[in-house]
Amino acid sequence: MIAPVSITGIGKCVPEKVVTNDDLAQLVETSDEWISKRTGIRARHVAVEETAIELAVSAANSALTMSGESPADVGVIVACTITAEELTPSLAGRVQRALNIPACAAMDVSAGCTGFVYALVTAASLMDTLNKDVAIVVASEVMTKYCDWTDRSTCVLFGDGAGAVVLKRSEVAHLLHPILSATPDVDDVIVVKKEARNTPFTGEVESKRESIRMKGADVFTYAVGVMENTLNELSARCGDHPIDKIVPHQANEKIIDFVIRTMKFRREQFFVNIANYANTSSASIPIALCEAMESGWLNAGDRVAIVGFGSGLTSGGAVIDWTITNKKENK
């Protein structure tokens, strides 16, 4: 079971450097037209000096500040990433230290681009199991550090950033109908290998970092299928209180367009910001939620569905009854 919770704070953080499609055309054989026509991407933020840890801390701090909770109130931290600089300690542990949060449950989850959905459900479940009232969920990725910058089929797709939310126990549940799933990736459709050091027993002693390997056509087929299935299931569970808006994982605008054409949802129901961020993996949904609220697209009282898909092959979704008022709009 998951605790009855609401989202009371949200934040995002992206690196300062912006790399446009025209910039990439100076590195690989590509163009703004080629990239945007196939993906909807125009630019992305690229970490130069920033780390996944620093981005996560900033996003989590913004979410905690908005929520009005103090570090001492936090009982659970769940972080998700596939690009953290350290295998251990956890990204959650680094956020805990940086924000001066006292002893609490802190852990990472790894579910690729579906990571935020997994982390959100995990945090709400831990709040119920451990009887905690406040949790931080943070996703942070520096995907560009794992790109092959000579491969135009993948390097143009990714960007860096972090997003976070604060969950608070509430009398009425505002996080509803969680769905988590994984289908065995028998064909290695998406693989990102960690840097590893060989031992004296395996031959040469050297460090190496492999780049993202992805079969784009297979990803597309998988993504549209699980997005449709997840949205159909969430819609059925919502019954007479239908979904108002949808914030999907921002992997490729063509995936979103395909789903819109094959389902009964309208284009204006989908929030799409991939043009300025590219695919930030697990961070894409919380970054999109934050920007959707800041722009006035997402408002208190909206029923919004989040849908993710990623390596594993993972997928997931949930419905959120949004309760945060955009304070900037009210000033």
Enter the CATH code of domain 5-173. Answer: 3.40.47.10
Extents of the domains making up the chain: 5-173, 177-324
pLDDT for res 204? 62
CA nearest neighbour of 52 among 70, 29, 17, 79: 79
pLDDT for res 331? 40
Positions annotated as catalytic residues are 113, 249, 279
Amino acid at 128: D
Mean pLDDT for each consecutive 10-residue tract of the chain (331 residues)?
94 98 94 95 97 98 98 98 93 98 97 97 98 98 92 92 98 96 85 70 62 83 94 96 97 95 92 98 98 97 97 95 76 40
pLDDT for res 71? 98
Query: CATH number for the 177-324 domain, one of 3.30.43.10, 3.40.50.1000, 3.40.47.10, 3.30.420.40?
Result: 3.40.47.10
**pTM for the structure as a whole:** 0.94
pLDDT for res 185? 82
Are the folds of 5-173 and 177-324 the same? yes
